[in-house]
Structures are given as C-alpha cells and as structure tokens.
Structure 1
Amino acid sequence: MGRLGRRRRQRAGARELHRTARRRLVAARGCPGHPDRGRSILPNRTPHAAAQPAAVSGVARHGGRPAAVKRSAPSPMNPRNIPLASLALALLFAIGAHADTVHLRDGEKLVGRLVTEAPDTIIFESRTLGRVEIPRARIERLERELPAAPAFQPPVALQAWAAGPTHFDWIQLKSGEWLKGEIKSLQDERLEFNSEELDLLSFDWDKIAVLRSGQLFSVRLEQLKPVDGLVVVTSNEVQIVATTTTNVFPRSELLGLAPTGNREVDKWTGKISVGFSYRAGNTRETDLSVFTSIQRRTPDTRLSLDYSGNYSRVNGTEVEQNHRLDGQFDYFLSRRLFLRVPDVEYYRDPLQNLDHRLTLGAGVGYDFIKTPRTEWNVTVTPAWQRNWFNSVETGQRTVADSAALVLSSRFETELTQRLDYILEYRGQLSRQATGNDTHYARTALEFEIHKRLKLDLSLEWNRISQPQTEASGDTPSPDDFRLVTALGVDL
C-alpha cells in the first residue's frame, strides 16, 4: 500500500503541476506585449467536430456551440516556481510536435513522418497507410509539425447534404487523416476505397472514424431491408439521408455498403493467377496452372465464381488435365447466417476416367469467424450429382446419378500486412456408383508484391475414393497432388 500511495501522490502532484503551468501560460499570454497574446492554447478542433453536416429535411440536431475559453486575469509569476513552470511548458510544447502533415491539392490530408525529399517527389510515412511516394505537383503545402491553422474541413462533403449527390466521398481515419475519393464497398468488415491521389486502398472497418458519402448508397443493416440514401457514419451512429427523412441507427448494426444506380462495375472484384513452367533437353516438359476468382457483392448478397485448371505434358504425352468450375449465390439472412442457392460445381479429369461431373444443390451457411483479419465459414448443401465416364467395363453404364451431401469450408486470415493464408475444402458424399465420396482441398499463401500484384504458393489435393474402372481393366489412382507457384493480379 505504501508504494501505491506514493505513486498516487506523485501522479496527483504531476497533474497539479500540469494545471498550474497551463494557468500561468494563459496569464502570460494575456499580458500586453506578449507575442502570443490572444492565441488559444487549446488544440484545434478535429475535422470530425468541424465538419458536422447541417440539419436536412426537417431533422434537427441538438446541442450548440462549445463554450468560449475563459482567460484568467494577468497575475505575476512566482520566481520560485519558474523552473518547474518552464519544465512543464517544455513538456507541453513537445507533445504533438512530433508529426509532419501533408496537405494535397484536392483536400486530402496525411499525418505522419517525412522520410526523404527529392526535387520532384517526397517519401512520406503515413500513420495508417505506411510509406507512400507523392509527387510535389500534388502537394499544396507541407507542415513539419501538427498544424496550428484552423482545422481542416472537407468542403465537398459539407456541400453534399444541401446540393444532393456529388462525385467524391470522404473518410477520416482514426489517425486523424482525411482521404477523398470513392467508396467502392463495405463488406465483411473491410472498406474498399479508391483515393483520388493514392489509388485503391483497403481498410479494416475499425480503423475508420468518420465516413461521409457524396453519392447514393444502398445500406444493409442488421434485421432490416437495404435502405438507400446519402450516408454519414460517426463513431457510434449511422445516418442515412433520404429525400424527405433522415434515419439514424447504431453503428454496430451496419453490415455493408454498396453504391446504387448504374455503376454495376463497382460491385465486382476478381483475381487471376497463372503459373507456367517449360523444360527442354533430355526431357521436354510443359506445365500450366490457372486459377481465377470473381465476386459480385451487394450489401445482402454475394455471387462467387471460381475456376482452376491444370495441364501438364511430358515428352509429347499428356500426363495431367483437369478443370474445376464452382458457382455459388449467397443471400444473407443476418450478419453471419446465409442461404446458398444455387451451389453448382463442374469437374472434368479424363485421366481419372471422369469425362464430366455435375453437382447441383442448395443449402445454408454460417460465418463462424468474421473479423477484419480472419474469416471462416462452413456450408452444408443437399445436392444431386451426375457423372459421365470415359470408358467402363462391359455391362456398366457410362452415366451414373446419385444424391449427395456437400460440405464446404473456407478459412482466410491475414498473417502480416502483406501475407495472407487461405484454406479451402469441399467434400461430396454420394453412393458408390458415382465414386462413393470425393474431396478437394486447396491451401495457399499469398504474398503482396505490389498493390495489385501477388505471388501465390498453393497446394491442391483431389481425391475420388473409388474411381471407375476403365474398359481395359485399369483403375486410376484415387489421389492427385499438385504444388503450384504463380503470379496473381487483382482485377
């Protein structure tokens, strides 16, 4: 208790010293002839407070202007306290003077540290975006410390509520930085934002302090149908401004955002990865692997189309050829529960005596983990399956049908800022005529080389438990493995 008591007294003394120093600084600035007379020592208001939109369509906001700062009357300084006051003032001025600020010509503001300067560009390390290279032609001014000028206000965002939809959206990061551009989507706790100066960016939703749209959005809220309007998101609420009303909801109920209107391209994302190798000499070998993923997202739906294909040829003989195409449409019933209708898979692997395989089903899925860094969902789907075989033994049919149960899972996590890990699995349980059961698994590491360029290392496993015996009496091996290194491009 003695040590805790001393610490409490020390902290109380430090707080009293801090308050005394501030009072004396105010008194000194009130004296005639002081260079800072009349200047407030309080920090500037944040853009959040300065940029609150006016009332719209009859909706009034409560509250008023903050009370004016009262200045103390001038009082003489006690010489005995001058050393302590000087130390406190030095600490006060040191706080907040450690950051540089870049104001761009379009109104965006970055806060962080200036790393290097060149005649045409600067390298700036933003608190949130990391290191970025900025041409000097785009810079309005560069401040070496936190600005003492009036707080930054995004002008277009303030005009949007009176003039209707405009071209730009604004977001404020929790670091205090403002970005101007276009909101692409908010889905699965990730905000895709196309900055006018910094190109396409992706943020964890918990890193966003304020959002103001300059265009109409379709807003998906928990337990409600999508609502359209201009959007303001603050630290604790979501305001949706329609033609005649403004609706306010808790921020915790916001599930997704998507632009409305004819901008269909904004709802689509994609990626393509290609791996290729060629060897000549005593052995001539060619390998080609292609993986493509396309998604269309709205606040309450998700369409996914995936394709993977592998081809290999050694000394003129084809040793591998398989193709897999998956398609799913998910409709979200709540934040985590979704209905999958339909669930379609097409698969072809002639070397496993499988000319075609088609699976159709509908089921239900659940997101067990859904955070900005990690996602894991599981889906169960009753289905129907049909197989077409290349060749069969005498008396066997070349086509086989079966009821099936499909179990699929996808796990994705962000290991580091540039490295992602993905694990996918799809299992189909069916009767013996269609192979009894089949399995497909893919595990991958994706390393971000550039904003849109990635290096992928993946391992794939295909298994048909009981492959169909060919007319020659040969039975294909049930398992296929493949390790692929590929370059991927985000579309």
Structure 2
Amino acid sequence: MSTLLKFFTIGLAIIAFVSSAEEQAKPIVEWSPATPVFSQKYDWLKLKSGEWLKGDIISMYDDELEFDSKEFDTHTFDWEDVDELRSRYDKQIRFDSGEVKQGFLIVKEDHVVIISNGKEQHYPLSDLLSITSAADDRKGFWSGKISLGIDIESGNTNQVNYTVSSNIERVTPYTSFNVDYTFNYSKSRVGDVTQVVTNNSRLTAYIDWFYSYRIFFRVFDFEYVQDLQQNIENRNTLGVSLGYHFINNKRLKWDMTLGPSYQQTEYYNTVVDNNQTSAVIALSTAVDYSITSRIDFLIDYQLQFVKEDSGKRNSYFKASFEYKIHHDFDLDLAFVLNRVAKPVVNEAGEIPKPNDYQLITSLSYNF
C-alpha cells in the first residue's frame, strides 16, 4: 500500500511540473482597451492614458482643449494629454501660418486631418494653433465669468462693501472680443450719519485681430471709468493699438499693446472746465501664469499718458490669484491700484489723493 502511495505522489508531482512549464511557456498578452464604435452623435476624445470620452468639442486655444463630456460635464485638458480627437461637425482650424481651414477634424499620430467636400488634407500637428466651432450659434465661441464679493463690518462703525465684476469673451480663429466690468460700492454709518466711502465703476471692451501667432492688432479699444472719490463723473477713452505675444504657452501667457487713443473726461465739480479732452498714448500688459492646475496668477497693468488737465498719467494695476474650488467656481483674491498722477482740484479746493487701493476677496462662477 505504501508503494502505491509513493507512485501516486510522484505522479501528482510530475503533472504539477508539466502544468507549470506549460503556463510559463504561454506568451504574456497585454490588455488594451477596445476602440469604440464612433457614433456620429458625438465628438470623440482619447487621452494619453487610453481613456475615451464622448461629448462635444468646445474649443482648443492656447494649448488647452475644452471638452463637454456626456458623463463628466465640461473639462479643460492640456493639449499634450490628448492622443486622438474626432469631430462630428465642421470645425474651423487655424494654423500657425494664419491659414484657416474648415471641415471634419481628426487629430491622430501627430497629424491633423481635415475632411471637406470628400477630400482629405493633412497637416503636421505642430502647426495647429486653434480649433473653434464653424457654426456662429454654437456655444463654443463664448465664455464668461461673474464674481461677487461682500464685506460687512459692525460695531462702532457699520460698513458694507460690495464688489461685482464680470467678463465675457468670444474667441474665433481670427479674432478675440473681450468685455470686463467692475463695480465697487461701500458705505459706512456712525450713529445716524451715513457716508458713501467708495463708488466707482470701470468697463473695458476690445477686439483683437490675430495677424500671426505673435502679432495682433487691437482694432477697437474702449474704456469707461466713473470714480466719485477721484471726482470723475465719467471718463471715456477710445483708441487702437498694436499687440505682441512675448510668451504664449500652456503655462504662461504674456502680451503687450501700445497705441494712440482719444480721451474725454467730465468731473463732478472743479475750478476749471468740467469737460476735458486729451490725446492719449496707451500702454498695457497682461500676464497669466498657471502655478498649478488649480491656481492661476494674473497681472493686468494699463498706463495712459494724457494732458495735465486730464490727470497727466492715469494707471490701473491688478494682481490676482484664482483658486479653482470646482470646475465652475473660483475663489479670487485681488489687489487693485487706481492712480491719477495729478488729480483735479474740486470747487471746495480739495485735491483727491492720487492712489486708491483695494484688497478684494470674491467668489466667481464660470460659464
């Protein structure tokens, strides 16, 4: 019986050894996700990770792709993370040379394929500058942001500070249209006496036409300013300028404009003429630096050289941090300086201070 048991044990060992050898001899096959069937109901995006998303291509600009996923809502992806892209509608595709093509879009293997009227055109991916919708009524051209900040103080002094700001932008392969508006108001009450501490508003609007990847023309540049503390009832400036992109990549953007303008200023009250006009040399620069995927640092500086009766030098400086707490909401912290080098004396003989400072915390909604 013991001899039979030994043979049985040896047989099991031989079977186990052979089975192990067969398993080791089998080639290892790596798993790869299946390529989806491209339904014409959606645009399709494949990331470098191998994941596929279906939804809508909103736009690609400044090395960032905005994609509205059917399952995960709107997200912005770094262009370097995109492996493949397919559109179901015509797109407007702009290249570094300034050439703009329209058609169905396929981005794959470092090539851009545009299909139009049954013909394919191939371009190097490195030449691609922007992607936008070919239909004027589609939402891909427009984006916006609205912010609200409220600061309430109580005790010996009761004070309420309001800040409201908004931005609307429309980007096409050829142009960029931008409108910014900011309103600041605060009042304090001591006993039965109420006093307005701050009451100012600022609106800017401009249209940029892209001549090349670096050079653009600001063909329309308008600014409106109202500032009670600076004795400015309204100040309107209209001009044009030449712009240049010094740096324009996915982390850092820096541009500058320079050009002539015309300015008209009306004061609440003054010992001189309430209505002043002046020729203007306007200089502006803007910096947008992505510190992380959630934190952006922005600088906006504008300087106007005008006649002494209009302030001599008018400047606006804003430095802000934007922290993305959700893909639609930001928490913003901004420092703002408004300066009039030579403020105009009012009827009481008082000269406003040249500098006005603000430190603003606000919650913003992106749409």
Please indicate, yes or no, whether the TM-score normalized by the shorter chain is above 0.5. Answer: yes
Matching residue of 2:205: 327
Counterpart code for 1:363: S
TM-score by length of 2: 0.90
Matches within 5 A, 1:101-250: 151-156=33-38, 166-250=40-124
Determine which structure has greater relative contact order: mean sequence separation of CA pairs < 8 Å that are 6+ residues apart, divided by chain length. Answer: 2
Q: Which residue, out of 421, 425, 444, partners 2:320?
A: 444
Q: Distance in 1 between matches of 2:141 and 2:21?
A: 59
Identify, as 1 or 2, the structure richer in strand: 2
Deviation at 1:33, TM superposition (A): 12
State which of 136, 139, 142 in structure 2 corresponds to 1:265.
Answer: 139
Question: Which string of whole-angstrom CA distances, capped at 9 and with x for unpartnered residues, describes residues 311-358 of structure 1?
Answer: 110111001111000001011111121111101000010221111101
Give the letter for the 1:178 counterpart: W
Q: CA RMSD in A?
A: 2.0
Structure 1 pair 40–298 and aligned structure 2 pair: CA distance change class (3 A): farther
Matching residue of 2:179: 305
User: Counterpart of 2:229 in 1: which secondary structure?
Assistant: helix
1:345-383: per-residue Cα shift (whole Å, max 9, x none)? Answer: 000102211111011011111111111111111111211
Instruction: Provide structure 1 residue ranges, at least 5 long, that are not aligned to the other structure.
Output: 1-30, 45-149, 158-165
> What does 1:402-441 align with in structure 2 at a 5 Å threshold?
402-441=278-317
Residue 356 of structure 1 aligns with which residue? 234
- Aligned equivalent of 1:457, options 333, 340, 343: 333
Superposition pairs for residues 276-295 of structure 1, below 5 Å? 276-295=150-169
1:391 aligned onto 2:265: no
Structure 1 segments of 4 or more deviating over 3 A? Answer: 31-44
TM-score (norm 1): 0.68
How has the CA–CA distance of structure 1 residues 285 and 246 changed in structure 2, closer, same or farther, with 3 Å as cutoff? Answer: same
- Does 2:156 match 1:253? no
Matched, 1:482 2:346: no
- For residue 265 of structure 1, report the CA deviation from its aligned partner: 2.3
What letter is aligned with 1:205?
W
Q: Secondary structure at the match of 2:80?
A: helix
What is the number of equivalent residue pairs in this alignment?
346
| 8 Å contact from structure 1 (residues 168, 215) kept in 2 | no
Q: 1:447 to 1:224 in 2, by over 3 A?
A: closer
Offset, 1:434: 0.9
Amino acid at match of 2:35: Q
TM-superposition CA deviations, 1:402-428 (whole Å, max 9, x none): 111111111111112211111110111
Equivalent position SS for 1:281: coil
Between structures 1 and 2, the one with greater helix share: 1
Deviations 1:265-291 (A, max 9, x none): 221111111100222332111100112
Q: Tell me the distance in 1 between the aligned counterparts of 2:68 and 2:22.
A: 44
Instruction: Quote the residue 1:64 is aligned against.
Output: none
1:73-92 equivalences under 5 Å are none
| d(CA) in 2 for partners of 1:420, 1:224 | 29
CA pair 296-318 structure 1, distance change in 2 beyond 3 A:
same
* Conserved 8 A contact 1:426-1:441: yes
Identity %: 33
Secondary structure of residue in 2 paired with 1:156 = coil
8 Å Cα contact 1:167-1:215 kept in structure 2: no
Work out the CA distance in 2 between the residues paired with 1:332 and 1:36. 63
2:345 corresponds in structure 1 to 469
CA contact (8 A) 2:98 2:213 kept: no
